[in-house]
Amino acid sequence: MPSMLPAYLGVNGIFDILGATVHYSPMADEPDPRVITPIPKPLLAAIDDYRFAARLPSRAEAIRRLIEIGLKAAAEAQEPARDAG
């Protein structure tokens, strides 16, 4: 069975050309990475309710916005703790 190492290295942007390892960084115009995670049905229903109430075009957009809202709220909640400490 042939080694999968060349395929792994090629997929992950590492090439061995005449013994020299070359790394490349992703181009700026590459698509955003995808995150796949299971979501419980009640939470998914709440996300869909938010999506329709906010008239968003997709579930993905609703999830992105809710994450941004949650991260902003978490940062604001940490600010008083930093000031007190």
Q: What digits encode the pLDDT tens for the residues 4-49?
A: 655 555 555 555 555 555 555 666 678 888 999 999 999 999 999 9
Q: Match 């942007």 to its residue by tokens.
A: 13
Model-wide pTM > 0.85: no
Residue 68 near residue 76 (C-beta atoms within 8 A): no
Burial profile 19-33: b = 16 or more Cβ within 10 angstroms, e = fewer: eeeeeeeeeeeeeee
> What are residue 6's phi and psi, to 5 degrees?
-60, -40
43: helix, coil or strand?
A: helix
Which comes out higher in pLDDT, residue 20 or 60?
Answer: 60
